[in-house]
Structure 1
Amino acid sequence: MGSQGGFGQSKEFLDLVKSIGEARSRSEEDRIVLNEIETLKRRIIEPDIPKRKMKEFIIRLVYVEMLGHDASFGYIHAVKMTHDDNILLKRTGYLAVTLFLNDDHDLIILIVNTIQKDLKSDNYLVVCAALNAVCRLINEETIPAVLPQVVDLLNHPKEAVKKKAVMALHWFYQQSPSSVSYLVSNFRKKLSDNDPSVMGAALCPLFDLITIDANSYKDLVGSFIKLLKILALLGSGDKHASEQMYTVLGDLIRKSDSSSNIGNAVLYESVCCASAIHPNTKLLEAAADAISKFLKSDSHNLKYMGIDALGRLIKLSPGVAEQHQLAVIDCLELNVTT
């Protein structure tokens, strides 16, 4: 069998990976993989294969498929591995079947019962593995078999489970909107979850729903404003995270509708967010332009918002104060006369 190499894999497996990596042509790679297929077809049906070795065989099957060849002769062994009580083996089995199968494959029926059982597990890692499979393998016909368990998991104490449960419901909606239409309110609720990853997961199905019927979701604007507060926290002191926000924040600042209260609220929170995250010159310039709209407004409330936002911006870009000093003096004089 060969000695055990790194990551617990055998020398035989490591040699396979090495030889594929060193192949100088597609034909040479195909020859190596076809030889591997013949080896696996022989070895995978041997009696009393140790679980550790079967796990390796399953991973080697994944390699075969990744390289464009057919490993369907071994699919059933991946399905059987999802039944294992060992968490590492079970997760390997689930990973393999989600890569191997589609939601109308004949073997799906053999997995549904296992998924039902694992969704009720006390081990959240098992639950997550099952939810991953749900998001790839459950079709319109099998949704009713797992739907109640998935809905229950929306209130699981672990954020990772809640996030994947939201993703599973989104998958159900994509497969059969009518089957989960009465559960759409759950996406709204999870938009207010304490964990950003759960909120982020809820945004995906809400985008689909709002695309179809925007009017029914106008009341969520307040919740979306809260997302800007969360972005400010996530980007504070983190250059990489902040860089992912620059384009969206810039668009929000430039395109927000300043003729409505909601539009001004979004604009104000966008400026505050731009002031809280790792600084970007163009974004700060756009924020300064937005502040001028507030300061020049006839509304006392908007003037106050402008002064507050200016105070935040000055900490990053002191030069901004100069261009707005006359407007600030006007605000002071207004305060005195009123």
Structure 2
Amino acid sequence: MTESSLHASYLQSEYISSGRSRDFYKFIKTISNAKSKSEEADLVNAELQQLSTKMSQPNVTSANMNEYLIKLMHCALLGYDIDMGIIYAIMTTQSGESVAQRRVGYLICTLFLNKPNDLSIMLINTLQRDLKSPNYLDMCAALNALCYLDHLEMVDHLLDPVMKTMESSRQIVRKKAALALYWFYRRSPSLLDQIEPYLKAALLDKEASVVFVALELWKKILTDKAEHYQDLLPTFMQIHHQILDRHIHRGYMYHGVLAPWAQITCLKIYGIYQHHGIGSQKEIFDLVTKCLRCMENKVDAAYVAIILECIKLLSTMDTLLLSTLISSDGEDDGYTNSPFYVLDPFLKANNHTMRYLGLTGLAYLKSTHLWHADWKDGTLLATMLVSSRDDSVLVKKIIAVLDVCVTTEQDLRLLRTPILDSVKQCEDPELVAMKSNWWIETMLLSLAAPKTGLDDGFLETQCRTLKQSLLDEMDDTTLRTTGLHASYEILSTMPTSDSLAPSLIQLLFWIGREVMMLVDDMDFVKKLQEPSYTDVSGKPHPPPHKVKHAQDTHLRGTGRDDGGRSISEEESKQAIPYRERRWIDGTRGHKDPLAIRSSNDQPIKSMMSSLIDMEINDDVEDEMTTDVFGKLWLTYQHEHKVQWKAPASQSSSSHYHDFFNDDDDDMTWTIRWLQDQWGFDVVQIIQQECLATKKLHQQQDLVLIHMKLDLPYVNITYRSQTSSTLYRFSQMLHL
């Protein structure tokens, strides 16, 4: 920054009015003109070092210290540590020459003094002094700081001085004192008995600003303690009547509405009492209708907020009582003067924002008994739907409200055409999207709820749509994992006497088969694979498949059963479960650390073993040597590479794989886990590399797999003759 440009900027009106020095302005401009984050960090750190040196000087004036603290605040807002300057901020609150300087010290303390910071104790004497000061600005600064500083010893030493400030002649001091008392109550609820008289007195204060602050504080207190303060309801209603009767100064007028925020607070307080069954519903109804009449012919957002709050409050009342009150209060059929008829101009407006506000109020009414006759048949909503098709947010809101009013087949036939036309022409893809977690979960649970009561054709169509949505998810696994959890919830909570449609059962088990390998929660997987009582009782004496015994028998060629009969090699081969036999066949021709050495003599209890035994009679595939693998590898031209992360630990997953060994190293365990999950045949294991093959089900295409284990990551390269084979393999294994 050149001297001439700095001088020109120095004369700008906004800088001159700030009262800051030229050095401060130069610091701000230099930081703002930094070209990179590193340049900014260098400038700020250099400035912090200079500030640390300057503030430690014994002869620093109050004005200079004030400017140094403001620089520190600017650095802190940029994300830099300024803990070294907090002690100087505390000193400024004590020794500042003017109120403005002391307020800067309080501001630094409230912004950057952490709650458990012991330096807060040093402020107690200063706060006591300022709370007793004759200058109301000092009192306000201290009361502001009390709302942000949190230290246990402050409550004991400062509660009495704060209570005395409630007697101040300044309304701004009484407002801030009420806020400080409320924060004392939040930090120590046992103080409510001492604070309560002062907060009640604030509701009767002669200044409306103090009353409005007290309303907000009591709304928060009543949320938890409404039963203890039933006597305050007439006071709140009296305050509201004073506002509606315009007994409040016109200075609180906001766009033609008198004290809108105070009115909204009163309505919310009535809602709290209504929720606890306190107060007369008729008195509240009369006051709310009076409030709605005062809001007629208003044109600003303030009156809209009050109207919606009134509708929300009325919707919580008893429907029968409301109907009676409306009929007795209205004329003709009782609906023209209904308090809910105030929504009619909103619903018939051409502005989409006004329509949305009207629909929001209509959505509060959970029953159509309170609706106007023109709204009940849904014709008005259908007209809005057709004319608002370009606004997806409004379309969603209209459909949500239509869900309440469409109660008969006649209504549905009447609204069928406009609803379909609007949905077809909606340009928002998220409105009808079927790619979210809630849609997958909701559809599965909805299809399972009627059990077998749905039309078979409709159910099959929905199942195909769900399946295709899960298959289309290539870059993530969120939808499939959601589908798996929903499927488990359906199957685990379904009573034994109930039954599901066959197409839905097929979909649920398809999801379980395809997505099981994506689940990290092994306890969840174990629950899915636990056999039921009927499964175990149906086959009370399953053959005990012992891995070590089966392998030894297979390697010797012959053996003997328990009765002494000679067992041939082929019979012993069939006695081995398919997954274990496949591992033995794939590793029999060479010595490697994956030879099975199971010390577990317990029979395999997984219900999956019964299904696996059905594959025992499959034809044994021809063994593939490394030479054949290498020749095919050079022949296959289509290749894909992917990096896969192995499971976190062996102990978290191996409990449901019975052929895992406790003494397997991480690499051995990972290959066993992959072979069990993916179903490939191991060709050769060389140090940290593994060669394997996979023949796709229902296809004769062969996939060659090369894995390099750099745990916890496995770099996988697989080749095939055609690109379609690679695609099916990737889709099947979710790679």
Range of TM-score over shorter length: 0.7 to 0.9
Are 1:154 and 1:166, in contact at CA under 8 Å, matched by a contact in 2?
A: yes
Any conservation in 2 of the 1:235–1:276 contact (CA below 8 Å)? no
Instruction: Provide the secondary structure at the position in 1 that maps to 2:166.
Output: helix
1:51 Cα shift? 1.6
- The corresponding residue for 1:262 is 283
Contact 2:252 2:259 in 1 (8 A): no
Task: Please list the CA deviations of residues 92-141 of structure 1 after superposition, one character each: whole Å capped at 9, or x if unmatched.
Answer: 21112111213431211211001101101110000000111111124232
Whichever residue aligns with residue 140 of structure 2, its letter is C
Q: Which residue of 2 aligns with 1:171?
A: 183
Confirm or deny: 8 A CA contact 2:240 2:263 kept in the other structure.
no
1:231–1:273 CA contact under 8 A, matched in 2: no
Contact 1:238 1:277 in 2 (8 A): no
Give the structure 2 partner of residue 297 of structure 1.
328
Number of the residue aligned with 2:119: 107
Residues 72, 46 of structure 1: alpha-carbon distance in 2 compared, 3 angstrom cutoff: same
- The Cα shift of 1:73 comes to 1.0
Aligned to 2:653: none
Deviation at 1:8, TM superposition (A): 2.1
Deviation, 1:88, is 1.8
Within the alignment, does 1:33 sit opposite 2:44 as a pair?
yes
Higher helix share: 1
Q: Distance in 1 between matches of 2:181 and 2:138?
A: 18
* Equivalent in the alignment of 1:119: 131
Amino acid at match of 1:35: A
Alignment partner of 1:133 is 2:145: yes
Matches within 5 A, 1:284-323: 296-297=327-328
Q: Distance in 2 between matches of 1:246 and 1:153?
A: 24
Give the alignment partner of residue 214 of structure 1, picking from 226, 233, 240: 226
d(CA) in 1 for partners of 2:183, 2:264:
26
1:271 is matched with which residue?
292
Is 1:172–1:179's contact at 8 Å kept on the other side of the alignment? Answer: yes
Residue matched to 1:49: 60
- Alignment partner of 1:239 out of 241, 255, 273: 255
**What code does the residue aligned with 1:133 have?**
A
Q: Is the 8 A contact 1:140 1:172 kept in 2?
A: no
Matched position secondary structure for 1:15: helix
Bigger mean CA deviation after superposition, 222-231 or 120-129: 222-231
| Corresponding residue of 2:102 | 90
Q: Does structure 2 conserve the Cα–Cα contact (< 8 Å) formed by 1:236 and 1:278?
A: no
Q: Provide, for residues 169-201 of structure 1, a one-character-per-residue CA deviation record: whole Å limited to 9, x for no partner.
A: 111111111134332232222122222332232
C-alpha change, 1:106 and 1:260, in structure 2 (3 Å) is: closer
Residues 323-338 of structure 1 correspond to what in structure 2 (within 5 A)? none
Give the deviation of 1:9 after TM superposition. Answer: 1.3
Aligned to 2:356: none
> Displacement of 1:58 after TM fit?
0.9
Distance in 2 (CA, whole Å) between partners of 1:102 and 1:116 is 21
SS at match of 1:136: coil
CA distance in 2 between counterparts of 1:246 and 1:293 reads 29
Q: Is the 8 A contact 1:237 1:277 kept in 2?
A: no
Match of residue 203, structure 1, among 200, 207, 215: 215
Contact 2:203–2:215 (CA under 8 A) maintained in structure 1? yes
Question: What is the distance in 1 between the residues matched to 2:242 and 2:109?
Answer: 36
Instruction: Select between 179-188 and 109-118 the one with higher mean Cα deviation.
Output: 179-188
Residue 145 of structure 1 and its aligned partner are, at CA, apart by 0.4
User: Any conservation in 1 of the 2:253–2:259 contact (CA below 8 Å)?
Assistant: no
Letter in 2 for 1:159: Q
Q: Identify the range of structure 1 (118-127 vs 258-267) with the bigger mean alpha-carbon deviation.
A: 258-267
The answer (yes or no) to whether the contact 1:58–1:78 under 8 Å persists in 2 is yes
The 5 Å alignment of 1:49-88 reads 49-83=60-94, 84-88=96-100
Query: Cα distance, 1:45 vs. partner?
Result: 1.5
Partner Cα separation in structure 1 for residue 40 and residue 91 of structure 2: 29
Which letter does structure 2 place at the counterpart of 1:263? I
Question: Partners in 1 of 2:68 and 2:29 — Cα distance?
Answer: 16
Asked if structure 1 preserves the Cα contact closer than 8 Å seen for 2:260 and 2:306, the reply is: no
Quick check: which one's strand share is greater?
2
Matched with 1:329 is none
| Counterpart selection for 1:181 from 193, 203, 206 | 193
Deviation string, structure 1 residues 14-48 (Cα, Å, up to 9, x no partner): 11212233334333332222122112112112231
Normalising by the residue count of structure 2, what TM-score does the alignment of the two structures yield?
A: 0.36
Would you say the 8 A contact 2:62–2:97 is kept in 1?
no
Give the aligned CA root-mean-square deviation in angstroms. Answer: 4.0
Distance 2:328 2:75 in 1: 65
Write out per-residue CA displacement over residues 68-107 of structure 1, whole angstroms, 9 at most, x where no aligned residue: 1111111111111111342122112111211121343121
The answer to whether the Cα contact below 8 Å between 1:274 and 1:283 also exists between their aligned partners in 2 is no
- Cα 1:156–1:285 change in 2 (3 A) is closer
* One-letter amino acid of the counterpart of residue 73, structure 1: M
CA distance in 2, matches of 1:112, 1:15: 36
| Cα distance in structure 1, aligned partners of 2:297 and 2:101 | 45
Counterpart-to-counterpart distance in 1, 2:121 and 2:205: 34
In the superposition, relative to structure 1, how do residues 276 and 110 fare at CA in structure 2: closer, same or farther (>3 Å)?
A: farther
Structure 1's unaligned 5+ residue stretches are 310-338
Shift of 1:158: 0.6
Q: Which amino acid aligns with 1:202?
A: A
Q: Distance in 2 between matches of 1:148 and 1:228?
A: 32
Query: Would the aligned equivalents of 2:295 and 2:307 in 1 still touch at CA under 8 Å?
Result: no
Q: Return the offset for 1:294.
A: 6.6
Instruction: Point out the more displaced range, 188-197 or 114-123.
Output: 188-197
How many Å separate the matches in 2 of 1:54 and 1:46?
Answer: 10
Equivalent runs, 1:153-168 vs 2, <5 Å = 153-168=165-180
Going from structure 1 to structure 2, the CA distance change for 1:216 and 1:259 (only over 3 Å counts) comes to closer
Distance 1:224 1:22, change over 3 A: farther
Q: Percent identity?
A: 30
Question: If the length of structure 1 is used for normalisation, what is the TM-score?
Answer: 0.74
Larger Rg: 2
Report the Cα distance in structure 2 between the residues aligned to 1:227 and 1:107, rounded to whole angstroms: 43
